[in-house]
Structure 1
Amino acid sequence: MAFVTIRDVAQKAGVSITAVSQILHGKGRFSNETKELVRRTVDELGYVPDSRAQGIRLAESKTVGLLVPDIRNPFFADLVSSMEKMLYEKGYSTLIGTSAEDVERQDAFITTLLGQRIDGAIVVPEGAESPGIRSIIDRDLPLVFVDRTVEGLDTVPSVVSDPYPGIESAVETLSQLGHRRVGFVSHSSLESVSVNEREVAFRAIAGRVLGEDGVAVVDCDNTFRSRKDALMELLSEGVSAILFAYSPDAIAIIGLLHDRNMDPGTDISVVSFDDIDAFRLMTPRVAIISQQTADMGRQGVEMLLSRIGAKRRRRAEHRRIPTVFVQRGSVGVAPPERRM
């Protein structure tokens, strides 16, 4: 059973549906023992009140939940746009939420989704397994992860990017342009399996192409101070190019480079993950490693709809979309003084 209904609670507690409803809404005259019994039964069964006041779930609500970390982030905005468009074409409405990179906020929105009696959900998860994610799984509700996965939850199908092809192409291009020491800005505080894998890929590829002495890795978070410290450390390491795992870090640090009168593509080369509009509007345009956002969204929707339509549970499928390096003006020949 995908959802626990008020009828299930009433039967388990041995009271009427009316009694359950009144107790949950603070109405009626009931003993403290009865109130406690109903509330304990609600917790045990994981019952979520239906905000549309439907006692019994319809076969299909034709509604899907979409949850991303930050709708202001152009990458996630593009991802949501591609998925919402395809779902609309397939006759589905969407409930869109943002976790703001916060697990509690993620789980709060999931609780709201469960109250709406959705047919399924596509989620960009936060960090490790959470009670909210577990509640979707325990209800056997169709769920697909996109862009990120949760370690240990291999039963949830996923569509993520494969960072290796794009990073390899970027590092080899930089090497051919004379860059002998390349920096990488990671962002471990996101606790994202996908973002962390980019660092692993960079270390392996850059170490092979440039040698261990050609690799410099720093970590930062969302604060201005952390990003400035990361840049200062890389410059002190003598890097001639920087690759960013997370596009908001790239935007902030490119601004810091301009403050130092350092021009991307001339004084230092810059490459970032994510093909967002901001990178095409900057001067020079920023080279990117594209995650093929539209394709990721399309495959995520296809995977979810196939599970919604399945008469029996399907084995989880995990897809990896190859990333693509797109060279632009922010990548140039290494400055003579930085060639080693």
Structure 2
Amino acid sequence: MTVSVREVAASAGVSVGTVSNVMNRPDKVAPQTVERVLAAIEALGFVRNDAARQLRAGRSRSIGLVVLDAGNPFFTDLARGAERRAAEQGFSVLIGNSDEDANREAAYLDLFEEQRVYGVLITPLGDATARLERLRERGTPTVLVDREAGNARFSSVAVDDHVGGRLAADHLVSLGRRRLAFVGGPLAIRQVADRLAGAREAVAGHADATVEVFETESLSVDQGRAAGERILARPAAERPDAVFAANDLLAMGLLQALLGTGSVRVPDDIALVGYDDIAFASAGVVPLTSVRQPSERIGYTAMDLLLREAAGGAGFEHERVLFTPEIALRESTLGRRA
């Protein structure tokens, strides 16, 4: 049975307003009264209805975060950083997994708007500008995460994926690899397209080097394994001698497929580079060379921008934060080191 504020007030011998002050502004209430009200709350098992209180106030203390794939450790780390910054200011984070599905993304944005969240962080699947503009017009601050804003009306926090793609391909070419393959998709995802563009730019400086694209349906281990099987189906002389995967999950699937037959050696026959440098990248049978993103820092910074925008109101100047990636070199390209 739900206990009401009136019952707490009656048990403590105070007014409903005093109970409200104890819960929201205890500094305005005498210490002895605070103790009496808290004792009544504990004895009766009262639980405050924060949802109703927040809706009456017009805005909740929750912030919505929409990510492309909650199963990807990169987004887990990003969410951890966002939650850490939110908790510092007394906010909670509601996470929605679009699972690379535009309809699910739209459903989460609708849900967060209905719940009157304090703001929204989002890694959009495609061009969600029009939908996000409507959120902003209705008073919900929005920040793009792991995606550069192409619109001055939005703040964004991202990594320069074009540079990241160049780093990966430059490294492979420096090792003497010339038949590069890029595995990733859908190419409609901006981050994937930018990583491919960077790799192509790096290879363009070498007349004898090429990049072949193996587009995938998603950025998953299963899709990486399927791409690996497509590569293995070719005669050895027609296979790429290096693969750049758009993320580490794809790279892990590729590694499973390539090593599974025992006929391909990594990196001797095919060198492999991933992207994100998730914790598992260094723990595989063949530790993975990967382009590193500061995932927790991205989430923390995006949340900080959102909170500052909400506090600054119409006068807030939107910011675009762009981190520079690094490459973590391991055995999947360098081989075993003594």
TM range (shorter): 0.7 to 0.9
1:206 partner letter: V
What number of residue pairs does the alignment pair up? Answer: 280
Q: TM-score, normalised by structure 1?
A: 0.73
- From 155, 158, 173, the counterpart of 1:157: 155
Give CA-to-partner distance per residue, 1:116-146, whole Å, 9 cap, x none.
2211111111212277534313313110011
Stretch deviating more after TM superposition (169-178 or 78-87): 169-178
Partner residue in 1 for 2:214: 218
Partner residue in 2 for 1:200: 197
Partner residue in 1 for 2:306: 304
In structure 2, what is the Cα distance between the partners aligned to 1:175 and 1:154?
A: 37
Asked if structure 2 preserves the Cα contact closer than 8 Å seen for 1:111 and 1:132, the reply is no
Q: Which protein has the larger Cα radius of gyration, Structure 1 or Structure 2?
A: 2
Please state whether the residue corresponding to 2:135 is helix, strand or coil. Answer: helix
Partner residue in 2 for 1:265: 267
Partner residue in 1 for 2:180: 182
Q: TM-score, normalised by structure 2?
A: 0.74
Give CA-to-partner distance per residue, 1:275-303, whole Å, 9 cap, x none.
11221210221010012212211221121
Q: How does 1:107-146 map to 2 (within 5 A)?
A: 107-129=106-128, 132-146=131-145
Partner residue in 2 for 1:18: none
Q: How does 1:224-303 map to 2 (within 5 A)?
A: 225=226, 228-229=229-230, 232=233, 237-261=238-262, 262-303=264-305
Asked if structure 1 preserves the Cα contact closer than 8 Å seen for 2:83 and 2:300, the reply is no
Unaligned runs of at least 5 residues, structure 1? 1-50, 334-340
In structure 2, what is the Cα distance between the partners aligned to 1:331 and 1:228?
A: 20
In structure 1, what is the Cα distance between the partners aligned to 2:232 and 2:213?
A: 11
Stretch deviating more after TM superposition (239-248 or 310-319): 310-319
1:310 partner letter: G
Please state whether the residue corresponding to 2:313 is helix, strand or coil. Answer: coil
Unaligned runs of at least 5 residues, structure 2? 1-49
In structure 2, what is the Cα distance between the partners aligned to 1:309 and 1:212?
A: 54
In structure 1, what is the Cα distance between the partners aligned to 2:178 and 2:318?
A: 42
Aligned-pair CA distance for 1:59: 6.6
- From 150, 169, 175, the counterpart of 1:171: 169
In structure 1, what is the Cα distance between the partners aligned to 2:228 and 2:144?
A: 29
Change (3 A) 1:278 1:320: same
Please state whether the residue corresponding to 1:95 is helix, strand or coil. Answer: strand
Asked if structure 1 preserves the Cα contact closer than 8 Å seen for 2:192 and 2:246, the reply is yes
Partner residue in 1 for 2:334: 332
Aligned-pair CA distance for 1:63: 1.9
Please state whether the residue corresponding to 1:331 is helix, strand or coil. Answer: helix
RMSD: 2.7
Partner residue in 1 for 2:325: 323
**Percent same amino acid among aligned pairs?**
26
Partner residue in 2 for 1:35: none
